[in-house]
């Protein structure tokens, strides 16, 4: 059910014959910015004035006369210079809401052109615990996956683990020279983290002008040995991997992120890399660079390495191999990379290199996002200056959620409060992240995201819980209501606004997917929750003036609850019945 598309179709018909190509003008129909201008507005009359050599208002009148309103629209109004203000018939809204009351998909149609997407997200370094920097990639990627799948697309999720790069050279060097065997046995990941940081500290900041740092050089040598298949290094690497992976998977479970379809890390592509470089050279995509390195040149001073002078390959090489592999095995129409904005240039170069290499007929998109900042507006750090570990951040969020439940519903059983704490805490973190335009940085603040007012996850949960309370109190089973949906009456502005908002679900999901912006869903949720609160405040349900009104309002409530729940689920956020 897509109101915008229905209205646009009417204008498409009306415009046909007036102009050679109606599409640009059809695109000028959008939801009204101000409710007093109606539900939707068409802004095409002004633009048509020049093309048709007539006054905008005359064109608007002509268009309105050509429109087949049917029972969808009321008679449009022409305002200002030539705006056409459109208002849906309330009877049509009522009928349509009733018709989707028992629809599993809440009136959302599946995409007609089904595509296959490969989404690359989270992609942590296996050598280090997940930190707050992985939060955005993971939850944005998860939300996009859920959205695309809900709309009927095929999505292949792939966690492109950093399990093979220079950081493993650092670890190998540290493992051989600095390892505390007991500590490693007890908690390998913790000890590896310590080793990693220790080696980084020993290397310090590398300066181009200074003599080559011997430790950095030794680490690079370890990386190169690993890449060449040195048995000792490969064995140590194989020893590292399982505990590190388990640590990462435990975080995903805690966060409620489902397992990936694939976890083909960089190591997976290692055997392909020499062939990739050969092919790049053969096709003149790559050329020799300084000191025996092999490079791809994009401009005078924009160059990507594909083979270092010591023979090791880089992430550009590995990413090109990955593109080739995914094309062959998944045959996608699109490959999406949910990676932070600092890698924009890498992806611009990577995609350009892939095109030159012959990759075509596939969308390659870098879904860039901003940084998570601390209160000082600098990338968030612990008090000690280290990275904030994701595991402890999630624990803290759950604890914060617990405080909310304990303060408000101490009467709930302990087990239920624990469950609610998790849903609220983790939900608040995810919501706070997803409700930002992803390209912006944002300041991480538990106080703000846990706030019970404003556009927060907690507010959404609350809207849902208050709604469910009605059914509990009235002892009404929503399933029974849905099976035999009552007639819907939209006699107050609150009910009408709610019905309209419910029918805009598909529009919001399509817009979220069109620009890969989960914040389109939170914006929709915010509008819906606000509209619902107005309804809740002004339209008593259990004590409605008649049974017919009560039944109608119950249906609106039930549909609202389901839309709230569905949207939150698409964002990876769980709902609870009480809080």
Partner RNA sequence: GCCCCCGUAGCUCAGGGGAUAGAGCAUCGGUUUCCUAAACCGAGGGUCGCAGGUUCGAAUCCUGCCGGGGGUACCA
Binders of RNA among residues 42 to 81 (CB under 7 A) are 43, 46-47, 49-50, 79-81
Helices 214-227/231-255 angle, 10° precision: 90
Site string for RNA, 251-270 (x = CB under 7 A): ---------------x----
* C-beta of 177 vs 180, nearer to RNA: 177
Helix (H, G, I), strand (E, B) or coil at 194: helix
Output DSSP code: residue 379.
B
Q: Is 346 in the site for RNA (CB under 7 A)?
A: yes
Given 245, 293, 327, 418, the residue binding RNA (CB under 7 A): 293
Given 83, 121, 173, 351, the residue binding RNA (CB under 7 A): 83
Q: Is 167 in the site for RNA (CB under 7 A)?
A: yes
- Angle subtended at Cα 76 by Cα 75 and Cα 82, rounded to the nearest 5 degrees: 155
Q: Is 565 in the site for RNA (CB under 7 A)?
A: no
Site string for RNA, 501-520 (x = CB under 7 A): ----------------x-x-
Site string for RNA, 136-165 (x = CB under 7 A): --------------------------x--x
Alpha carbon separation from 482 to 99, 106, 476 (Å, rounded): 10, 12, 11
Structure tokens at 142: 């998860």
Binders of RNA among residues 173 to 212 (CB under 7 A) are none
Burial 342-362 (b: 16+ CB within 10 A, else e): eeeebbebbbbbbeebebeeb
Q: Is 492 in the site for RNA (CB under 7 A)?
A: no
Given 61, 230, 261, 310, the residue binding RNA (CB under 7 A): 310
Q: Is 290 in the site for RNA (CB under 7 A)?
A: yes
Q: For residues 517 and 367, give the distance between their C-alpha atoms in angstroms, rounded to a whole number.
A: 9
| Residue 429 main-chain phi, psi, to 5 deg | -65, -45
Binders of RNA among residues 527 to 556 (CB under 7 A) are 530, 533-534, 536-543
Structure tokens at 519: 């914040």
| 442-443 and 372-373 beta bridge pairing | parallel
Binders of RNA among residues 221 to 250 (CB under 7 A) are none
Which residues have CB under 8 Å from 248's CB, separation 6+? 124, 126, 130
Q: Is 437 in the site for RNA (CB under 7 A)?
A: yes
Smallest gap from Cβ 521 to RNA, in A, equals 12
Given 60, 88, 295, 489, the residue binding RNA (CB under 7 A): 295
Listed ranges 31-39, 148-156, 172-180, 252-260: which one lies at the site for RNA (CB under 7 A): 31-39
Listed ranges 16-24, 89-97, 248-256, 338-346: which one lies at the site for RNA (CB under 7 A): 338-346
Q: Is 85 in the site for RNA (CB under 7 A)?
A: yes
* C-beta of 112 vs 301, nearer to RNA: 301
Q: Is 365 in the site for RNA (CB under 7 A)?
A: no
Helices 390-408/231-255 angle, 10° precision: 10
**Radius of gyration of the chain, Cα coordinates, nearest whole angstrom:** 28
Residue 103 neighbours by CB distance under 10 Å: 14
Given 17, 20, 34, 383, the residue binding RNA (CB under 7 A): 34
* C-beta of 96 vs 337, nearer to RNA: 337
Calculate the dihedral angle through the C-alpha atoms of 45, 50, 51, 55, rounding to the nearest 10 degrees. 50
Q: For residues 165 and 239, give the distance between their C-alpha atoms in angstroms, rounded to a whole number.
A: 16
The DSSP code sequence of 400-462 is HHHHHHHHH-TTS-HHHHHHHHHHHHHHHHHHHHHTS-TTS-EE--HHHHH-SSSSSHHHHHH
* C-beta of 107 vs 553, nearer to RNA: 553
Binders of RNA among residues 438 to 457 (CB under 7 A) are 439-443, 451-455
Q: Number of residues in contact with RNA, rule: CB under 7 A?
A: 94
Given 100, 465, 567, 570, the residue binding RNA (CB under 7 A): 465
Smallest gap from Cβ 431 to RNA, in A, equals 12
Given 95, 110, 331, 473, the residue binding RNA (CB under 7 A): 473
């Amino acid at each position: 059910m897509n109101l915008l598309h229905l209205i646009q179709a009417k204008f498409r018909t009306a415009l046909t014959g007036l102009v050679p190509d109606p599409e640009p003008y059809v695109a000028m129909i959008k939801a009204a910015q101000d409710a007093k201008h109606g539900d939707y507005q068409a802004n095409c009359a002004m633009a048509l004035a020049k093309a048709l050599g007539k006054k905008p208002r005359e064109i608007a009148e002509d268009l309105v006369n050509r429109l087949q309103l049917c029972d969808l629209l009321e008679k449009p109004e022409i305002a200002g210079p030539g705006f056409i203000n459109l208002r849906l018939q309330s009877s049509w809204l009522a009928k349509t809401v009733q018709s989707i009351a028992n629809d599993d998909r809440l009136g959302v149609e599946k995409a007609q052109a089904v595509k296959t997407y490969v989404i690359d997200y989270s992609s942590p370094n296996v050598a280090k615990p997940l930190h707050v920097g992985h939060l955005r990639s993971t939850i944005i990627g998860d939300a996009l996956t859920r959205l695309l799948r809900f709309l009927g697309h095929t999505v292949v999720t792939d966690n492109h683990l950093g399990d093979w790069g220079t950081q493993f050279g650092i670890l190998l060097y540290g493992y051989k020279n600095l390892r505390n065997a007991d500590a490693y046995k007890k908690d390998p990941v913790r000890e590896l983290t310590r080793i990693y940081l220790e080696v980084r500290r020993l290397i310090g900041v590398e300066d181009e002008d200074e003599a080559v740092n011997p430790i950095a050089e030794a680490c690079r040598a370890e990386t190169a040995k690993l890449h060449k298949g040195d048995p000792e290094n490969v064995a140590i690497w194989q020893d590292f991997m399982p505990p590190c992976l388990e640590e990462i998977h435990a975080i995903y479970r805690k966060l409620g992120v489902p397992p990936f379809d694939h976890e083909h890390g960089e190591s997976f592509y290692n055997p392909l890399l020499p062939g990739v470089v050969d092919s790049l050279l053969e096709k003149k995509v790559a050329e020799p660079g300084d000191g025996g390195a092999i490079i791809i040149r994009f401009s005078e001073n924009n160059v990507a390495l594909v083979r270092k002078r010591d023979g090791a390959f880089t992430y550009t090489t590995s990413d090109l191999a990955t593109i080739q592999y995914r094309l062959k095995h998944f045959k996608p129409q699109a490959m999406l990379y949910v990676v932070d904005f600092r890698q924009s240039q890498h992806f611009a170069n990577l995609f350009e290199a892939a095109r030159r290499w012959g990759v075509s007929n596939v969308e390659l998109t870098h879904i860039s996002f901003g940084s998570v900042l601390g209160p000082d507006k600098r990338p968030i750090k612990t008090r000690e200056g280290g990275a904030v570990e994701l595991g402890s951040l999630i624990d803290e969020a759950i604890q914060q959620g617990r405080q909310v439940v304990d303060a408000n519903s101490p009467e709930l059983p302990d087990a239920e409060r624990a469950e609610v704490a998790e849903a609220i805490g983790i939900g608040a973190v995810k919501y706070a992240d997803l409700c930002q335009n992803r390209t912006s940085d944002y300041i991480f603040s538990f106080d703000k995201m846990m706030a019970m007012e404003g556009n927060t996850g907690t507010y959404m949960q609350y809207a849902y819980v208050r709604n469910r309370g009605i059914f509990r109190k009235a002892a009404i089973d929503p399933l029974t209501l849905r099976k035999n949906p009552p007639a819907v009456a939209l006699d107050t502005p609150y009910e009408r606004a709610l019905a309209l908002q419910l029918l805009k679900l598909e529009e919001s999901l399509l817009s979220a997917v069109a620009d890969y912006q989960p914040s389109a869903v939170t914006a929709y949720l915010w509008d819906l929750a606000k509209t619902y609160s107005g309804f809740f405040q002004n339209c008593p349900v259990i004590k409605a003036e008649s049974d017919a009104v009560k039944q109608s309002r119950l249906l609106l409530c039930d549909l609202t609850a389901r839309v709230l729940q569905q949207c939150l689920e698409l964002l990876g956020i769980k709902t609870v019945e009480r809080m």
